[in-house]
Amino acid sequence: MENKLLNLDKLDSHDAGEKYHFAKDLLQMAKKNPAKLYPYFDRWVMMIKGDNNVLKWVATDIIGHLSSVDTAEATVQQIDGLVKFLHSGNLITSNHAIFSLGLIAKNKPEQRERIIKELLAISKAVFTSDECKDIAMGKVVDTLNGFRDEIQDDEAALNFIRQARLCPRIATKKKADALMNKITKASKEQLGIKRMVHVN
C-alpha cells in the first residue's frame, strides 16, 4: 500500500472497537514500516494534543518509532511536549513518554544527553502513589539499558540506578541490579584492557 493511499478515517470512527483496533494496527505499522506513517506526522501531533488518552498514547509511541526515518527533525521538535508527558504525574502517559523519548535518543544521538537528563529526573516527579513512581523508574532503567556506554561514567545516572536498587518494587530493583552489574562488568573489562595496553 502506498503512503498516499493510507486511510486514517477509522481513527474518527464512532465505533470504539474499530477505532482502537485500527490504532493497534498503526502501532505495528510504525514498528515495522515507520516510513509509511511518516507523511502523516501532523496527524500524530494532533492526536497527541487531543482529549482521547488512548489515541494520545498511541501517537506518542508512533512519534518515537518515526524518529528512525525522520530527516526533517520533526520528532526532535516534539521532545519538549514529550517531556511534559514524562513529568505529568500520570503513570501511563509517563511510561509512553519514556518509551518514545528512548527511541528518539537512540535514533537522534545529538539529543541523547538532553533526553537522558530528563529521564533521570523522573526520580523527582510526583505521582499519585509511590508504587507508580517505582514503576516509572523501572521503565527508565529499561531505557537506560540501551545507553550503557553513555551512562557508565555519568554519576547522575549511576545514582539513579543506585536509588532504583533500593526500590521496594521487586521488578524495578531487579532491573536496576542487572543494569548496574552490566555497567560494573564493562568498566572492569575496560580497566583491564587499559592495564594490558599500558604494560605492553
CA distance 200 to 194: 10
At which of 126, 154, 185 does a domain end?
Answer: 126
Residue ranges making up the domain that contains 119:
1-126
Pair (145, 114) in one structural domain = no
Give residue 5's pLDDT: 67
Query: Which residue from 185, 146, 143 is spatially nearest to 164, judged by alpha carbons?
Result: 143
Q: Do residues 52 and 131 share a domain? A: no
163 vs 148: CA distance, rounded Å: 17
Determine what percent of the chain falls in helix, strand and coil, rounding each to the nearest 5. Answer: 80, 0, 20
One domain, residues 102 and 183: no
Boundary of a domain, candidates 126, 145, 169: 126
% of the chain surpassing 90 pLDDT: 88
What is the number of structural domains in the chain?
Answer: 2
Quick one: 15 and 88 in the same domain? yes
Coil vs helix vs strand at 194 = helix
Average pLDDT over residues 143-149: 95
Residue 192 pLDDT greater than 80, yes or no: no
90 in the same domain as 183:
no
Instruction: Grade residue 199 by pLDDT with cuts at 50, 70 and 90.
Output: low
Tell me the three cell numbers of residue 183: 555497567
Cβ–Cβ < 8 Å for 102, 84:
no
Name the grid cell of 40. 502523516
Confidence of residue 187 (pLDDT cuts 50, 70, 90): confident
Stretch 53-70: mean pLDDT: 98
Beta carbons within 10 angstroms of residue 40's beta carbon: 17
pTM across the whole model: 0.91
Q: How far is CA 11 from CA 20, 53, 127, 132, 157, in A?
A: 8, 13, 30, 30, 39
Q: What is the pLDDT of residue 1?
A: 35
